[in-house]
Amino acid sequence: MKIAVDAMGGDYAPEALVEGVLLAIPQCPADLLLVGNEARLREILSRDKRASSVEVVHAPETIGMGEAGPMAIRRKREASLSVAMRFLAEGKVDAVVSAGNSSAIVATARHFVGLVPGLRRPAMAVHLPTLTGGVLLVDVGAHAESSSIHLAQSAALAHAYLKVTNRLDHPRIGLLNIGHEPIKGTRIVQRAAALMKRTSLCFIGNVEPQGLFFDRTDIAVCDGFVGNVVLKLYEGLSDNLLRFLEARLDAKRESPEGGLRRIVDQVREIYDYQSVGGAPLLGVQKPVIVAHGHSLGPAIANATLFASRIAEDRVFEHLGEDLERDSILTELKHHNAMLVLESFKNKWGRKRTDS
Amino acid sequence: MKIAVDAMGGDYAPEALVEGVLLAIPQCPADLLLVGNEARLREILSRDKRASSVEVVHAPETIGMGEAGPMAIRRKREASLSVAMRFLAEGKVDAVVSAGNSSAIVATARHFVGLVPGLRRPAMAVHLPTLTGGVLLVDVGAHAESSSIHLAQSAALAHAYLKVTNRLDHPRIGLLNIGHEPIKGTRIVQRAAALMKRTSLCFIGNVEPQGLFFDRTDIAVCDGFVGNVVLKLYEGLSDNLLRFLEARLDAKRESPEGGLRRIVDQVREIYDYQSVGGAPLLGVQKPVIVAHGHSLGPAIANATLFASRIAEDRVFEHLGEDLERDSILTELKHHNAMLVLESFKNKWGRKRTDS
């Protein structure tokens, strides 16, 4: 088994990526491969004695954080990300990890590796930790804009993912919304609720953001803009709160072994969603793991270990099989067509019979 | 001065509203008026000796939380909210407080009280507390969907509000987005950034959600769906974290006066955005304060006190004058028209010269 890490993507590339790979080695059953500027990578690696077990593949180009994904594929065929995805498609590696431009990760994954048949687009999922165990949030940034069928397909992907990874047969699916009443939210969200209600998914209706903390649902579905805002606010607020507490403990000269400090450390551990290190890009044919752009070495190491577990358990393959067996995507397509038809009937049909 | 409180709106109406009004009396310089089902209100009031100073106005109908605002106005002319807004429009009261259906609050405020000239729609603003002082978030739920000009107008409203209330002459305006690069986010958000960049507003570009905690901006602009999600996640996460800490302190039998517990209480105080109790509905001609639907008595009391301060300082009137003097709405309209024109030119004009 082999994992390719895009060494050139992320705010602290390539140093943090190399560091992450080196940190992962002792615990990682898979071979590790860095894709990027070979000279630069060899130079960083030369400082470390563990480096001999890391393979390096040269890629002369890098996709920047501000580039549009679809353009980047065409213009930069030899970008580190494109090379890594090509290796994945050709079976030379078993998973790809990148902390780069998420729009480019989505575009290269679609282009080189391909999607599960019947799916319109992939979705990024993240496990948000809470006191009651947590919730799988999807999409957290693969696409900023979504239609109703995109939202429903994200729900189906998350459903299959939890079935495969957590052996939950009927995970509860909630739609992240600003009120529990069906009239709340945008028209797209309202239509997504109407669509999911018709399917065999265990759809529990709207879930408000505070509801994420009360074990109301296993999955919370939203568009990538909202999901990414939730993720980053989660990160910012918990960090802000904990830093405040720590500053007060310092001011009180509370010892590092003091009772409250240990409690604060526990909370930091629970809420540190970066300890997972990466979000699976669900719906791609083979494992692609997206790491946070701000990731430092330890987060990259965690993402790499996560990728090796996902690859070992063949999660992405089983997810595709599960979707195929349940024919949930076909079901969604059918119900979506019926909904569109009905909305036309409501708009035009009734008037005709009235007159 | 007199404040009307819509006694029938909110999850705990009318009890929480009556309790809030009674709690507010000792500190509130304004007279208070409850609008709603008179028999029911009199019955609740009869249990309290402070009740004699509260006026009650009968309104036979109530707008439910699941009703669409524009429909509710037409169908329920005698709803408590409509009656309160009519009183505000006629000058019988100086401000309205409601914890009801926000879509109905917006619709009745527009219909009965009216908007600042040149404004397309009002926006709800909330002060989010952080360690560095906080940020004004706008819109937090007046409208779930927004166009670029709506976002830019919300920015102008928040700008005028901070000028009037905090005497900040050039408050920094950030656009809440999922990345700092201009290519990030939805097309609407991207266009709003292009629009604001052209105006005289102090626009600092995109602000990511974690950035709210680092004093990067005074104002964060977003659509009402995203703003409401931010608000509710803020509430849920801080509460979740603090309850975890408190549970640990209980388990350790830490006394209520213990140093650690006092620190946790301090944090709870800082992060308790409900202590403000209400969000001003900016852009309406006269003061309308929206309280959280889940508000209990103390939050309603805070919203009522907030409304009386806003009314006393004539904030809404000054805000309208300020917008008029700066002619910022006219400026936005002009730049928006130019942007539309340019996008057409880019689409069609160039092709013609090419051929």
The segments of chain A whose pLDDT lies below 50 read: 353-355
pLDDT at A29: 95
Checking if the pLDDT of B352 tops 90, the result is no
- Give B129's pLDDT tier (boundaries 50, 70, 90): confident
Contact A240 B183 (CB under 8 A): no
Contacts of B270 in chain A (CB under 8 A): 244
Contacts of B68 in chain A (CB under 8 A): 183
Checking if the pLDDT of B351 tops 70, the result is no
pLDDT at B60: 95
Closest partner CB to B248 (pick from A233, A236, A263): A263
Q: What is d(CA A327, CA A316) in angstroms, rounded to the nearest whole number?
A: 16
Contact A244 B183 (CB under 8 A): no
pLDDT at B354: 46
User: Average of pLDDT values for B323-346?
Assistant: 91
pLDDT at B355: 42
Closest partner CB to A209 (pick from B209, B224, B233): B233
pLDDT at A355: 42
Chain B closest CA to A341's CA: distance in Å?
Answer: 24
> Is the four-CA dihedral A331, A334, A337, A339 of positive or negative sign?
negative
- Give B166's pLDDT tier (boundaries 50, 70, 90): confident
| B233 burial level (CB within 10 Å; 0-12, 13-18, 19+) | buried
> Is the four-CA dihedral A160, A165, A167, A171 of positive or negative sign?
negative
Contact B210 A243 (CB under 8 A): no
B291-311 pLDDT, tens digit each: 998 899 999 999 999 999 999
Contact A209 B229 (CB under 8 A): yes
pLDDT at B258: 63
> Cβ atoms within 10 A of the Cβ of A171, count?
20
Contact A224 B263 (CB under 8 A): no
How far lies B307's CA from each of A262, B93, B218, B271, in Å?
Answer: 43, 11, 22, 21
Contact A236 B224 (CB under 8 A): no
Q: Which residue of B has its CA nearest to A186?
A: B144
Q: What is d(CA B19, CA B39) in angstroms, rounded to the nearest whole number?
A: 16
The CA-to-CA distance between both ends of chain A, in Å, stands at: 69
| B7 burial level (CB within 10 Å; 0-12, 13-18, 19+) | buried
pLDDT at A354: 46
Contacts of B245 in chain A (CB under 8 A): 245, 263-264, 267
Checking if the pLDDT of B11 tops 90, the result is yes
Q: Considering chain B, what percentage of its residues have pLDDT values greater than 70? A: 95
The lowest-confidence range among B172-181, B259-268, B308-317 is: B259-268
ipTM of the complex: 0.92
Contact A230 B229 (CB under 8 A): yes
Checking if the pLDDT of B269 tops 90, the result is no
Contact B234 A237 (CB under 8 A): yes
Closest partner CB to B233 (pick from A184, A230, A270): A230
Q: Across all residues in chain B, what is the average pLDDT?
A: 91
Checking if the pLDDT of B101 tops 70, the result is yes
User: Average of pLDDT values for B50-62?
Assistant: 92
Chain A interface, best mutation among B187, B240, B243, by max A CB count within 10 A: B240
| B164 burial level (CB within 10 Å; 0-12, 13-18, 19+) | buried
